[in-house]
């Protein structure tokens, strides 16, 4: 009694909530629930339904415990009565035991000889057990499921297959990426007209990029080079020095030699700033720097005609 009135109450509240939510939804300006749950106008209603649901669950639990106690009492009196009449009392099997027996339909131990196939291997006997009903129903269920799946996904195609679902999600992600890029356009950097400036702010940013992307793991924290990457502080370059070459090397990487293509993960501004930072390390001559590799680079050539000659010279 108590329980049903509570469920009615919860059901009513939930209906009221959804009804109210439907009423308010046309106002597009209303803030979403998760924007500010505490001050949301429907919060008291939600909280009330939540507590009503908790109370309902508690009532159900209490009812079940009471039923169990009742069951024990009934069994006790039945046992007493049987003893008075001199009959041996066999307690009735519980609901759960009956479910398990129905699902397995196993032959009781006492009647095992009925299904004995007569094959005995070192005391291990072979019994002619059938497949348990739960297994057969599961199998039938998969057949029904497969048919429904075939019809819904392949014959009528009104539900999306994995490939379609994937394509759809990729399209949504592409759209989001386009929107994000449109919202904050990235200024492309023309490497051919780029000039090195020892601008303190840019160098500071470049230092941050160098540190945050672990350039130091292959070039050492001070750029002196280690077993993986070359020394970035000397005048010798594998791929040419000067702002254009260094920018291009950092952007495109030398993937087959283990230098990642940073243009894929860093913004053009970050590549420029870290290029300036690497250039600022020139001649810093850190202790135990790696021996020079590559060709000595004539900076004069690049600075006198920085727009045209340098990039083509070594690319
Ligand atoms: C996983 C290791 C690794 C990381 C991380 C790495 N590099 Fe390199 N880098 C290399 C290797 C190896 C080379 C030499 C490529 C070659 O032998 O051609 C190189 C070459 C270079 C060169 C050209 C040197 C020359 O002599 O021409 C520059 C400039 C450079 N790296 C800058 C950077 C910067 C800036 C970062 C961080 C954003 C970075 N590297 C991160 C491995 C790495």
Say yes or no: CB of residue 290 within 6 Å of ligand 1: no
Ligand 1 atom 8 nearest Cα = 259
Ligand 1 pocket test target in 206, 207, 259 with most atoms within 8 Å of CB: 259
CATH of 191-314, one of 1.10.760.10, 1.50.10.10, 3.30.2320.50, 3.40.50.1100: 1.10.760.10
Q: Is 212 in the pocket of ligand 1 (CB under 6 A)?
A: no
pLDDT of residue 211: 94
Determine if ligand 1 sits within 6 Å of the CB of residue 177: no
What integer pLDDT is reported at residue 39 of this predicted model? 86
Q: Is 279 in the pocket of ligand 1 (CB under 6 A)?
A: no
Nearest CA to ligand 1 atom 17: 257
User: How many whole angstroms from 253 Cα to the centroid of ligand 1?
Assistant: 7
With a cut of 70, list the residues of the chain below it in pLDDT: 1-31, 299-315
User: Model-level pTM?
Assistant: 0.50
Ligand 1 centroid to residue 175 C-alpha, Å? 34
Q: Map the chain to HEC letters.
A: CHHHHHHHHHHHHHHHHHHHHHHHCCCCCCCCHHHCHHHCCCHHHHHHHHHHHHHHHHHHHHHHHHHHHHHHHHHHHHHHHHHHCCCCCCCCCCHHHHHHHHHHCCCCHHHHHHHEEEEEECCEEEECCCCCHHHHHHHHHHHHHHHHHHHHHHHCCCCCCHHHHHHHHHHHHHHHHHHHHHHCCCCCCCHHHCCCCCCHHHHHHHHHHHHHCCCHHHHCCCCCCCCCCCCCCCCEECCCCHHHHHHHHHHHCEHHHCECCHHHCCCHHHHHHHHHHHHHCCCCCCCCCCCCCCEECCHHHHHHCCCCHHHHHHC
Question: Is the beta carbon of 262 within 6 A of some atom in ligand 1?
Answer: yes
Q: Ligand 1: does its nearest atom lie under 6 Å from the Cβ of 239?
A: yes
Pocket test for ligand 1, best of 202, 218, 265 (most atoms within 8 A of CB): 218
Angle at 182 between CA 176 and CA 187, to 5 degrees: 130
Cα(214) to ligand 1 centroid in Å equals 11
The domain locations on the chain are: 2-92, 133-183, 191-314
Mutate to test the pocket of ligand 1, among 196, 211, 212, 229 (most ligand atoms within 8 A of CB): 229
């Amino acid at each position: 009694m108590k329980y049903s009135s509570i469920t009615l109450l919860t059901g009513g509240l939930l209906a009221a909530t959804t009804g109210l939510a439907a009423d308010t939804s046309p106002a597009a300006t209303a803030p979403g629930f998760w924007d500010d749950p505490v001050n949301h106008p429907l919060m008291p209603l939600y909280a009330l339904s939540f507590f009503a649901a908790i109370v309902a669950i508690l009532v159900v639990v209490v009812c079940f415990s009471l039923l169990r106690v009742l069951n024990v009492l009934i069994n006790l009196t039945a046992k007493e009565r049987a003893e008075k009449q001199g009959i041996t009392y066999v307690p009735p099997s519980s609901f759960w035991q009956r479910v398990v027996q129905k699902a397995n339909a196993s032959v009781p131990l006492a009647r095992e000889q009925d299904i004995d196939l007569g094959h005995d291997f070192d005391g291990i006997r072979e019994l002619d057990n059938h497949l348990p009903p739960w297994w057969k129903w599961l199998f039938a269920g998969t057949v029904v499921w497969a048919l429904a799946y075939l019809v819904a996904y392949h014959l009528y195609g009104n539900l999306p297959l994995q490939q379609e679902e994937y394509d759809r999600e990729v399209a949504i992600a592409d759209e989001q990426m386009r929107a994000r890029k449109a919202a904050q356009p990235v200024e492309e950097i023309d490497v051919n007209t780029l000039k090195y400036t020892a601008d303190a702010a840019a160098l500071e940013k470049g230092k941050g990029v160098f540190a945050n992307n672990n350039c130091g793991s292959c070039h050492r924290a001070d750029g002196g080079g280690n077993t993986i990457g070359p020394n970035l502080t000397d005048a010798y370059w594998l791929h040419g020095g000067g702002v254009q070459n260094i920018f291009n090397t950092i952007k495109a990487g030398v993937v087959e030699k283990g230098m990642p293509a940073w243009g894929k993960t860093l913004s053009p501004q970050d590549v420029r700033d870290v290029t300036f930072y690497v250039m600022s390390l020139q001649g810093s001559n850190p202790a135990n720097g790696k021996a020079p590799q590559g060709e000595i680079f004539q900076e004069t050539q690049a600075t006198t005609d920085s727009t045209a000659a340098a990039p083509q010279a070594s690319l």
